[in-house]
């Protein structure tokens, strides 16, 4: 007789440019039992991003329809674009006993805490605000106005990091990954 293992929702958040994407990508490579929930967004794809893999890229009208139809677990507006988590795929994966990773913004992470209080909530911190700015600039995809906006938002988000079950400073990738693995699997 086997007992079904309950699924687990893992919420990973942190300011834009902190390296969430890099950490999550490495985590998924090393732990194939984890599945990433693909978020929806109205922002334009960056070079190399594929619809349905990086994000579901939606028009503003389609996103607003999904909101009205309660098809999103959470959603938020960030830096002029909508971001959200399609509900059906996440619930299905957890019901099947899978570990589902959500890489989302702070507002979404807060909304998830109300819906899934048993989720493991992890906040990724930059080593410093100066390092965060350098990482955002290194992308080469943001205007000065966008960088200033992202840094102002980042300062507010960092102040909220105490709300989370775990905080991990992404200074050295291998150290951050080890701490992330410990937070998820301990």
What domains are defined for the chain?
8-185 (3.40.50.300)
User: Order of strands, edge to edge, in the sheet holding 40-41?
Assistant: 56-57, 40-41, 81-86, 72-78
What is the pLDDT tens value at each position of the chain, 186 positions in all?
Answer: 344 567 899 999 999 889 999 999 999 999 988 999 998 999 999 899 999 888 999 999 999 999 999 999 999 887 789 999 998 889 889 988 899 999 988 888 998 988 888 899 999 999 999 999 998 888 888 889 989 988 999 999 999 999 999 999 999 999 999 999 999 998
Say if CB 121 and CB 166 are below 8 A apart: yes
Cα gap 112→160, rounded to integer Å: 15
Cα gap 105→82, rounded to integer Å: 11
The pTM is what? 0.82
Across-strand partners of 168? 124
């Amino acid at each position: 007789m086997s007992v079904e293992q309950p699924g687990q929702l893992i919420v990973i958040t942190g300011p834009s440019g902190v390296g969430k994407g890099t950490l999550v990508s490495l985590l998924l490579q090393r732990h194939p039992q984890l599945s990433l929930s693909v978020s929806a967004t109205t922002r334009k794809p960056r070079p190399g991003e594929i619809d349905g893999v990086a994000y579901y890229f939606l028009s503003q009208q389609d996103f607003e329809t999904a909101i009205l139809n309660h098809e999103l677990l959470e959603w938020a507006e960030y830096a002029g674009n909508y971001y959200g988590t399609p509900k059906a795929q996440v619930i299905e994966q957890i019901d099947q006993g899978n570990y589902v990773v959500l890489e989302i913004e702070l507002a979404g992470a807060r909304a998830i805490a109300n819906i899934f209080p048993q989720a493991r909530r992890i906040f990724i911190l930059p080593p410093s605000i100066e390092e965060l700015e350098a990482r955002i600039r290194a992308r080469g995809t943001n205007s000065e106005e966008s960088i200033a906006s992202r840094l102002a938002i980042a300062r507010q988000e960092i102040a909220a990091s105490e709300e989370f079950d775990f905080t991990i400073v992404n200074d050295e990738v291998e150290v951050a990954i080890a701490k992330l693995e410990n937070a998820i699997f301990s």
